[in-house]
């Protein structure tokens, strides 16, 4: 890895994109608040737990965060499943699939 260098300086990248990512953090915070305020029993949804694990990963100080977030959200089993029950994907590993978590 690290083929071509990042051509912009740290400062230039931050100047260019800080506000965009500040807004994304606010969206995430507000989303978690909204789910918490909502009625229903699904506070322990596996997708919300996955999001929290991703947030923790961002703070561990190690590189390749995007790759590691995707790995955290990936089914790590190796064998084909017996039958495709649905066509869709959820974006996190459902507890029954025996994934990373």
Partner 1 sequence: MYIDPHIHMVSRTTDDYQRMALAGCVAITEPAFWAGYDRSSPQGFHDYFRQLTDTEPKRAAQYGIRHHTWLCINPKEAEDPVFAREVIALIPSFLKCESVLGIGEIGLNKNSRNEVEILEAHLDLAAAHDLMVLVHTPHLEDKLKGTRLIMDAIKNQGRLDPSRVLIDHVEEHTVGIVLERGFWAGMTLYPDTKCTPQRAVDIFEMHGTERLWINSAGDWGQSDPLAVPKAQLEMRARGHTEAAIRKVSFDNPMTFLSQSGRFKIA
Is the Cβ of residue 56 or residue 70 nearer to partner 1 in the bound state?
70
Is the Cβ of residue 13 or residue 30 nearer to partner 1 in the bound state?
13
Q: Which of 48, 53, 57, 99 binds partner 1 (CB under 8 A)?
A: 99
Of 67-96, binders to partner 1 (CB under 8 A) are 67, 70-71, 73-78, 80-93
List the one residue out of 24, 101, 18 whose CA is nearest residue 57: 101
List the one residue out of 67, 68, 79, 77 whose CA is nearest residue 100: 77
Judge contact between 96 and 75, C-beta under 8 A: no
Judge contact between 82 and 60, C-beta under 8 A: no
> Which one of 26-34, 35-43, 51-59, 65-73 is the stretch in contact with partner 1 (CB under 8 A)?
65-73
CA dihedral 45, 51, 53, 58 (to 10 degrees): -170
Which residues sit at the interface with partner 1, rule CB under 8 A?
A: 1-8, 16-17, 64, 66-67, 70-71, 73-78, 80-93, 97, 99
């Amino acid at each position: 890895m690290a083929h071509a260098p990042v051509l912009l300086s740290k400062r230039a990248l931050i100047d260019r994109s800080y506000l965009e990512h500040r807004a994304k953090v606010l969206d995430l915070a507000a989303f978690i608040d909204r789910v918490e305020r909502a009625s229903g029993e699904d506070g322990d949804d596996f997708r919300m737990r996955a999001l929290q694990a991703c947030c923790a990963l961002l703070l561990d100080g190690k590189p390749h965060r995007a790759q590691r977030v995707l790995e955290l959200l990936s089914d790590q089993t190796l064998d084909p499943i017996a039958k495709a029950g649905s066509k869709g994907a959820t974006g996190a590993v459902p507890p029954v699939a025996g994934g990373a978590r």
